[in-house]
Amino acid sequence: MQNTMNRSLKDLLFPTPLHLEEGEGFFRLSNSTTIAAETLFEETAQTASELLGLKQGGEDILFKVQSGLKEEEYILSITKEQIVIKASTAEGAFRGFSTLRRLILASDRMIPAGIISDQPSFEWRGFMLDCCRHFLTPAFIKKMIDTASLFGMNRFHWHLTDDQGWRIPIDGYPRIESVASKRIELNYTDGRTHGRLYTKEEIADIEAFAKKRHVIVVPEIETPGHANALLAAYPEFGCTKGPYEVQDRWGIFDEVMCAGNDELFAFLEEAVAQTAKLFSGPYLHIGGDEAPHTAWKTCPDCLKRMKEEKLTHIDELQGWMTTKVAQMVAKHGKRAIGWDEVLDGTENMGLPSDLIVQSWRGSAGGLQAAKRGHYVIMSPNTDGCYLDYKHVDSEEEMGNLGVSTIEEVARFTPTPPQMDEEAKKFVLGAQVNLWTEKITTSRQAEYMLFPRLLVMAQQLWYPQELEANLAKRPLLEDLCNKLDLVCYRGPSA
């Protein structure tokens, strides 16, 4: 991307904005370029000056209030002399600034003049990192939040508990740290111990870092399945009372939380309360996926619970539990999100109406949830949202289970054609997910995430045709270089 003189805004921008008008000439950014803001945007200007390494004082780059714009909407005007970002909220101002920051990177500081007026198509533009199967460092998590926000994303779903490790401290339950956070490799290698908790300081630091970038962190505490790490620490929370292990194999396990155990619910109350306190965002994910009901069928406590609650089918026990945990979440002023299995077996019982459903087993769960009046986050593993899947179907490629080609991502839309207009109103947006069974380092994680995460950012901001997205691959590779991100550069098909 050397010859910036010939380049237009259109060539340099990804995600492509809603409206764009090319101007005459360039704004040359230098170390003496200054930043200023009207009062409402002082914090945004502070963040901007930190991220660009520029001083505040003069008005070379100016943040101005313009009422009447939507929450995330902005107008970015660039002339030879000045850059003005107009918005009506700090969030809008930050989105406008992010576009400018991408332009500065892409243009090597020679920013073509023009006017961009822009706003996102979808409210939920997310990515998930599984920090359980392999621990991802706070530094890497922050790098991903920064990158995602730079491309207009606004949700970080933090998968914090699973069979292979529990990563969030819960006061009053010391074995969470001494047992549940540590995985001993029994099956695969040399008995090495992996994993640890994130400390409260690290969590607070990540939360503040994300907040500055207008990214909402969505912590996930898995219930009732994917719970071996918890059960290893507290076997009394399981139906058979153990012994259990923090798993070092991948898959779906019959050992789940005991739905008949009141001590478990006391723990969940604590876990939800403490987690809710650590994060400022309005959501808490309660899991719900891949929870076999095998152990429940022969567990006297679970059967007793069914009787007490007048449940007729074992699957309803999960629905009952979803409702109970969602109510705990609501008590702390937050909304619960569950993977699409939370719908299974609940046709005759209903679920809390404000429960958000995340559709991952294709789009069917999303369609069903929307029909039942639940808000929906789409992350179908069938359509490019699973970034743990290989880039292409090759034995040489890194990845797990399936294939998510860049074309699938570039074609993705959160509202598939089979969804009717009424159901579409319930779709908040979508999310890419990075599960880490096969990913042991952050560099490997980057290889799986890029450029697919960036293409998803485009589809959630302003969906484009496949060809338009693929044509921008050289720009994306250039941006990844500049951001020191490992990026898949292989063939498109």
User: Binding residues for ligand TNX, per CB under 6 A?
Assistant: 289-290, 339, 360, 386, 388, 400-401, 435, 437
Please list the residues that pair with 339 across neighbouring strands: 358
SS3 label, residue 373: coil
Measure the CA–CA gap between 338 and 157, rounded to whole angstroms: 12
Q: How far is the CB of 385 from ligand TNX (least distance, A)?
A: 10
Say which residues have a Cβ less than 8 Å from residue 259's Cβ, sequence separation at least 6. Answer: 224, 296, 301, 302, 305, 317, 318, 320, 321
Q: How far is the CB of 226 from ligand TNX (least distance, A)?
A: 6
SS3 label, residue 83: strand
Please list the residues that pair with 35 across neighbouring strands: 56, 61
Active-site residue identified among 269, 290, 397, 478: 290
Q: How far is the CB of 307 from ligand TNX (least distance, A)?
A: 30
Tokens of 78: 């660039």
Q: How far is the CB of 199 from ligand TNX (least distance, A)?
A: 25
Dihedral angle at the C-alpha atoms of 336, 256, 366, 322, nearest 10 degrees?
-40
290 given a catalytic annotation: yes
226 given a catalytic annotation: yes
Q: Which is nearer to ligand TNX, 107 or 346 (CB)?
A: 346
Say which residues have a Cβ less than 8 Å from residue 146's Cβ, sequence separation at least 6. Answer: 209, 213
Distance of CA 392 to CAs 387, 389, 400, 448, Å? 11, 9, 11, 11
Q: Which is nearer to ligand TNX, 323 or 436 (CB)?
A: 436
162 given a catalytic annotation: yes
Measure the CA–CA gap between 127 and 493, rounded to whole angstroms: 24
Q: How far is the CB of 128 from ligand TNX (least distance, A)?
A: 9
- The alpha-helical segments, DSSP class H, found in 135-194 are 138-150, 175
Q: How far is the CB of 339 from ligand TNX (least distance, A)?
A: 4
Pick from 444, 458, 446: nearest CA to 483? 446
Q: Which is nearer to ligand TNX, 209 or 360 (CB)?
A: 360
Q: Which is nearer to ligand TNX, 34 or 382 (CB)?
A: 382
Active-site residue identified among 60, 72, 162, 388: 162
* Whether the Cβ atoms of residue 306 and residue 253 lie closer than 8 Å to each other: no
Q: Which is nearer to ligand TNX, 368 or 469 (CB)?
A: 368
Q: How far is the CB of 428 from ligand TNX (least distance, A)?
A: 17
Q: How far is the CB of 342 from ligand TNX (least distance, A)?
A: 11
Q: Which is nearer to ligand TNX, 386 or 462 (CB)?
A: 386
Q: Which is nearer to ligand TNX, 139 or 401 (CB)?
A: 401
Pick from 384, 382, 405: nearest CA to 394? 405
Q: Which is nearer to ligand TNX, 273 or 403 (CB)?
A: 403
Task: Compute φ and ψ for 195, nearest 5 degrees.
Answer: 95, 160
**What long-range pairs does 208-211 form, CB within 8 A, spacing at least 24?**
209/142, 209/145, 209/146, 210/145, 210/149, 210/156, 211/280
Pick from 370, 344, 338: nearest CA to 357? 338
Cis bond upstream, residue 15 (ω within 30): yes
Active-site residue identified among 226, 285, 374, 391: 226
Burial class (CB in 10 A: 0-12, 13-18, 19+), 345: middle
Beta strands in 160-266 (DSSP E): 161-162, 165-166, 183-184, 193-194, 216-223
Query: Among all residues, which ones are annotated catalytic?
Result: 162, 226, 290
